[in-house]
Amino acid sequence: MISYARQTHEEQPAAAPPPVEEHIAPAPRVSVQAFCETVETAAAVQSAGEDRRLGKAHLKIQMGGMAAAIEAYRSAPTPNVIVLESDGRNDLLGGLDQLATVCDAGTRVVVIGRINDVTLYRELVRRGVSDYVLAPVGAIDVVRSICNLFSAPEAKAVGRIIAVVGAKGGVGASTISHNVAWAIARDLAMDAVVADLDLAFGTAGLDYNQDPPQGIADAVFSPDRVDTAFIDRLLSKCTDHLSLLAAPATLDRVYDFGTDAFDSVFDTLRSTMPCIVLDVPHQWSGWTKRALIGADDILIVAAPDLANLRNTKNLFDLLKAARPNDRPPLYCLNQVGVPKRPEIAAAEFAKAIESQPIVSIPFEPQIFGSAANNGQMIAEISANHRSIEMFLQIAQRLTGRSETKKQKSSLLSPLIEKLRGK
């Protein structure tokens, strides 16, 4: 029998939520085979297979629909997921009955059909179909359906990865990432972790005034040991809601990594933390590119000069093309208004990149320098500084959350508190 998994169906199909707000957890390493009847659906499935969230899945596409699937599995084992396109009620239900006779236990089936009928849906549920998607479908519909098969409703929410990278060295990307993470933890009340990926020269430990004996290097160099308990031991607690996976910031070894070196670390963090902020160093390698493309959201930090404009444009275009079903990266301008320095205006940046900067953070060396030297965040140095609101604005855009509202106190509050105490 085809095993039962999560069923989803809408009797009245509504417009899908815009990709800019949607969070779809990546699928694990599974095999997926699709049997399509139309070239349009085959193209959508092919495009879905190129999405970052199906990067670990092995996808194969064949034409022929239900008949081809039944024939294929008469002499071959079935994959983890079968995607079937069908446009007829009788052929669909009869074909599923035949497929069940050759289908391995545990295989999940997603049906793409054109009939929007609750009776048909109930019949599909009775036969153990995991999901029914109304045609025509787009790539994101296929991605959502496959990924959601492995995100059980009762499971803990999969964490959101936010990558912050500088368009050029020295633009303050690490400072921005650390203060934004602070805002996520303090103002949005989300449990978050900062992963400092600059193992040789990372500054997260300094900025948070932490000197843990272990950190991210222990995980990267011991991939076989990485699990939830191991990662928890490596985390350094900064506040009630904020933790740090620190870089060693030593030069006693060379930090050359393969493309997938950080995969197990990121996957484990996703399973334990609602929000993961990656402080990505300004370098271009297989693993940094993979970290950026695989992130749920990206913030590029740039200074207002020509080299930063060029690099931001290059990063923006590459990441937008590599993540067609995600919203484009966000970017902000930092160190704006350096005395006597010619600068490119934010409007010129926006014209070249075809996107507005999320914020423009002014150059204020006194407070930023004091915070860095004291191992503090800007909010700890000056609670009302104007940049704090900008960090919160970035945090809200990257997480899709609004600021946690504090309850207003009334004249009766002191009396109520006394009564509660009794």
Confidence of residue 157 (pLDDT cuts 50, 70, 90): low
| pLDDT for 407 beyond 80 | no
Confidence check: pLDDT of 7 > 60: no
Per-residue pLDDT reduced to its tens digit, 390-402? 999 999 999 987 6
Calculate the average pLDDT of the chain: 87
Q: Which residue has the higher pLDDT, 48 or 154?
A: 48
Say how far residue 234 (Cα) sits from the centre of its chain.
Answer: 22
pLDDT at 152 over 90: no
Distance CA 68, CA 64 (A): 5
Which pLDDT band, with edges at 50, 70 and 90, does 209 fall under? Answer: very high
- The model's pLDDT over 24-75, given as tens digits with 9 standing for 90+, comes to 888 888 889 999 999 999 999 999 999 999 988 899 999 999 989 998 888 8
Comparing CA positions, the residue from 33, 43, 97 lying closest to residue 65 is: 33
Question: In the structure encoding, which two tokens stand for residue 216, read together?
Answer: 């991210």
| H or E segment to which residue 178 belongs | helix 173-186
Does residue 298 sit in helix, strand or coil? strand
pTM (two decimals)? 0.79
Q: What is the pLDDT of residues 89-140, one digit of tens each?
A: 657 888 888 888 888 777 899 999 988 888 888 888 888 899 999 989 999 9
Question: Strands across the sheet with 131-134, in order?
Answer: 58-63, 31-36, 81-85, 108-113, 131-134
What percent of the chain has a predicted confidence (pLDDT) above 70? 88
